[in-house]
Amino acid sequence: MANRLHIDSNATKLASTDFGKLVQANPIAVLYPSSINDIVSLVKSSYNSPNPFTVAARGRGHSLRGQAMAKNGVVVEMSSLKLSSNESGIRVSQNPSLGFYADVGGEQLWIDVLRATLEHGLAPVSWTDYLYLTVGGTLSNAGVSGQSFLYGPQISNVYEMDVITGKGDLVRCSKHMNSDLFYAVLGGLGQFGIITRARIALEVAPNRVKWVRMLYHDFTAFTRDQEHLISINGLDYVEGSLIMHQSPPNNWRASFFSPSDQLKINSLLTKHGIIYCLEVVKYYDDLTIDTVDEEIRQLVKGLRFIPGMMFKKDDSLVGFLNRVRSGELKLREKGMWEVAHPWLNLFVGKSGIMEFNAAVFADILHKQNHTIGPILLYPLTRHKWDDRMSAVIPEEDTFYSIGLLLSSVDNGNWEVLEDQNKQILDFCDKAGIKAKQYLPHYRTKEDWMNHFGSKWDTFQQRKAQFDPKFILSPGQRIFNSV
């Protein structure tokens, strides 16, 4: 393992920052593992040391506030496993009890999982909007997107995992085997183990998608229609977003609207200030190609969007699922991907969503008029989540995923955007809105206790069981001061 451990400044500098560009924390070393045993040896050596050092697994470094960092510890570059292995880290299988599934290395990117499974005519059912993230990274949080109302988050579609605990033990776990570790790790923010393999549920993949967007100026009609659509059968994806002058119709997430469509939308913006966009997708294949348009007509019948403001697009499954990538590449060409990203992701209970709209969307964001970026808003259902998992959601049957994907255009205004985030969080606290941070970030133990609520005692007990020396994921600041 020693020759895989790098202490040079080039290695430590790369591991000292992340996608958020808000936090910097220098490790003393970076491990580039050639095998899972390298990671086992590293963690075990820390656990057995009289002076344990911290360890953080880093996938794409897509964290926002240093969650994948290890100040004065060791960062494990999980991508090194892909480069060092001669075997594919993705293997598709089938058995009578589970059906189709893929065994996937924790270091694998979801885009590679998609491509590998499509070779068998199969695909996972639950996604994130951005596919260039690692399997271990999203499963440590939850993994949500427009399919989550139907299939649950990605953590609800895992059969089994191999995990390296904070004691340096490599443990296989599932609902029926070492189940405490299984449920702890899913949504566990990396606190209990490093995921080295996950068994992911697969289904037969469609060929193409019908992609529809409908525009609203009435928030009540918009949310009622969203909630209606997730309550019926027929759609495969439901999301929503806001369109404002500082958050235009086409953005880096997806270039959907034609120039003439954008002119119409800009006219609506001038009149209403904020437009709400309901986005739905229906999958289809050769067997349903002749009926899919009629099916969509029936599904959207009675919806209360602005007359004439429904827009359609046809795309391949890969084109749709990987829609964010082209926008990312364009931003990289302009040097705009490497700016600060003070994103704020929340789960807000249905009971508070009207008040949230009035205070946050229509007041704070609209009036302050900062350059921001995409704003996502779509409903999820509690019964698709397993409460035994570490992930935390509001205690309501329906809640909304809200993504304020703020970007600092020139890195000069990130503090202004952070202040705006604080204003939003303070409002939620004072108004008693049932909200939970997704990709959470807190500075005090009390805040973490409030975040986990009734799960806190279990979370602490699991930490004592699987990482008693507080070695793993110090950048989350739950048990370690960084």
Instruction: Tally Cβ neighbours within 10 Å of residue 452.
Output: 18
Quote the percentage of the chain above a pLDDT of 90.
Answer: 85
Per-residue model confidence (pLDDT) at position 411: 54
Element housing 459 (H / E):
helix 456-466
Query: Residue 255: pLDDT band by 50, 70, 90 thresholds?
Result: confident
Give 115's contacts (C-beta < 8 A, 6+ positions apart).
318
358 burial (CB, 10 Å; 0-12 / 13-18 / 19+) is exposed
Distance in angstroms (rounded) separating the CA atoms of residues 480 and 190:
13
- Report, as an integer, the average pLDDT of 254-269: 86
pLDDT digits over 185-204, tens only? 999 999 999 999 999 999 99
pLDDT of residue 410: 64
- Assigned CATH for 208-438: 3.40.462.10
- Which tokens go with 169? 């033990």
pLDDT for 84? 67
Q: Which residues are catalytic?
A: 62, 129, 239
What is residue 114's predicted lDDT score, i.e. its pLDDT?
A: 98
Q: Which alpha helices (DSSP H) does 232-352 contain, by range?
A: 259-272, 292-299, 317-321, 323-333
pLDDT of residue 257: 84
Task: Determine the Cα–Cα distance for residues 315 and 326; give it in Å rounded to an integer.
Answer: 14
Query: Which residues, at least 6 apart from 459, have a Cβ–Cβ distance to it below 8 Å?
Result: 191, 390, 452
Sign of CA dihedral 167, 171, 177, 180: positive
295 pLDDT band, cuts 50/70/90, is very high
pLDDT value at 134 more than 60: yes
What pLDDT shows up at residue 482? 45
Q: What number is the average pLDDT over the span 442-449? A: 94
Whether the predicted pLDDT of 235 surpasses 60: yes
**Which residue shows structure tokens 């183990």?**
193
Q: Is 70 exceeded by the pLDDT of residue 1?
A: no
Share of the chain above pLDDT 70, in %: 97
Instruction: Give, as one character, the DSSP assignment of residue 305.
Output: P
pLDDT computed for residue 418 by the predictor: 93
Mean of pLDDT over the chain: 94
On the question of pLDDT at 133 being above 80, the answer is yes
State how far the Cα of 134 lies from the Cα of 138, in Å rounded to an integer.
6
Architecture of the domain defined by 84-204: 2-Layer Sandwich (3.30)
| pLDDT for residue 34 is more than 90 | yes
For 93, the token pair is 């299988």
pLDDT tens for residues 44-92?
Answer: 999 999 999 999 999 999 999 999 999 999 999 999 998 766 556 999 9
Using the Cα atoms of residue 119, residue 124, residue 125 and residue 131 in order, give the sign of their dihedral. Answer: negative
Cα 342 vs. chain centroid, distance in angstroms? 15
**CATH number 3.30.43.10 is the correct assignment for the domain at 2-81+467-476:** yes
Q: Is the pLDDT of residue 167 over 90?
A: yes
Domain boundaries, the chain: 2-81+467-476, 84-204, 208-438
CA distances from 137 to 158, 251, 316, 445 (A): 14, 25, 26, 23
**Residue 88 confidence (pLDDT):** 65
Lowest mean pLDDT among 157-171, 258-272, 420-434: 258-272
Three-state secondary structure call for residue 133: coil
Q: Which residue has 């202040």 as its token pair? A: 419
Predicted local distance difference test score (pLDDT) of residue 412 = 64
What average pLDDT does range 430-453 have in this prediction? Answer: 96
Burial of 302 (0-12, 13-18, 19+ CB in 10 A): exposed
| Segment 25-38 mean pLDDT | 97
How would residue 327 be classed by pLDDT, with cut points 50, 70 and 90?
confident
